Amino acid sequence: MESCLKDQIGAVLLPGDVFTFIKTETISLTDTSKAEKIICGPGLRRNGDDVVVCKSGVLRHKHPNLYWVDSQQRRYVPVKGESVIGIITTKSGDVFKVDVGGSEQASLSYLAFEGATKRNRPNVQVGDLVYAQFLIANKDMEPELVCIDSSGRANGLGVFGAGGLLFKVSLGLVRRLLAPQNEIVKDLEKLYPCELVVGMNGRLWARAATVQKTLIVANLLESSENMTAQQRRTLFKRVADGNL
């Protein structure tokens, strides 16, 4: 059943492409037949017995049975559990409104910070950057962010962003940067030591030793989106040699 999806791994798919699963006509009486399961990630939808593609992109697979379409979109759609960089836009009563780049502003409770109590409010101002995680994100409800994990620890989340630079890239590049053992990040580490915050909503924040180096890092990351590994290495080498 999975074979027709397996054949297409790495292929470019377009909306409307259909995967039909051929059911085995004969039922074996000796073997206990087990239904094969596949998990459809973003870009794949189930329609009756078929799986239909609804986004253009490359089909990816993760062992054992997870499939999704990897597309290069720019607009973020909130997903539960994802970590994003948000900008505080308003303070109203006990919630902050946060711009995350989606279709709606997300809400962030003042109690959802580490060590915050009703008496001890966190110091968050309008315009601050927060690294937060989605607690609620679905199409029918207002998205809600938190800056703590389930045990009440910050764990890297919270207000940040003094002296750095925030810029936007495509969601595809962000996912590539977050992949474990990513080559772009490795190449960058060798070039300059820098701090990098990567939000799943396509926002990147970088800080290096000097303003000039921060700008170089930002430009390198922006340009590495449409480069092959070879092209990127030559560019990084040129920067390392000091001739831009």
By CB under 8 A, name the binding residues for other proteins: 10, 12, 14-16, 18, 43, 45, 52, 54-58, 70-75, 77, 102-105, 139-140, 172, 176, 222-223, 225-228
Q: Would you say 89 or 122 has its CB closer to other proteins? A: 89
Nearer to other proteins, 54 or 111 (CB): 54
Task: Identify whether the C-beta of residue 205 lies closer than 8 Å to the C-beta of residue 197.
Answer: yes
Q: How far is the CB of 33 from other proteins (least distance, A)?
A: 31
Q: Which long-range contacts (C-beta less than 8 Å, at least 24 apart) are formed by 207-213?
A: 207/163, 207/164, 207/165
| Minimum distance from residue 86 beta carbon to other proteins (Å) | 15
Q: Which C-beta is closer to other proteins: that of 113 or that of 134? A: 134
75 or 153: CB nearest other proteins = 75
Minimum CB–partner distance for residue 159 and other proteins (Å):
24
The nearest distance, CB 77 to other proteins, in angstroms, is 7
Closer CB to other proteins, residue 15 or residue 193?
A: 15
Q: Which residues pair with 86 in a beta bridge?
A: 130
C-beta of 17 vs 114, nearer to other proteins:
17
Shortest spacing between CB 142 and other proteins, in angstroms:
10
Min separation Cβ 15 and other proteins, Å: 4
Q: Which of 96, 165, 93, 167 is nearest to 125 (CA)?
A: 96
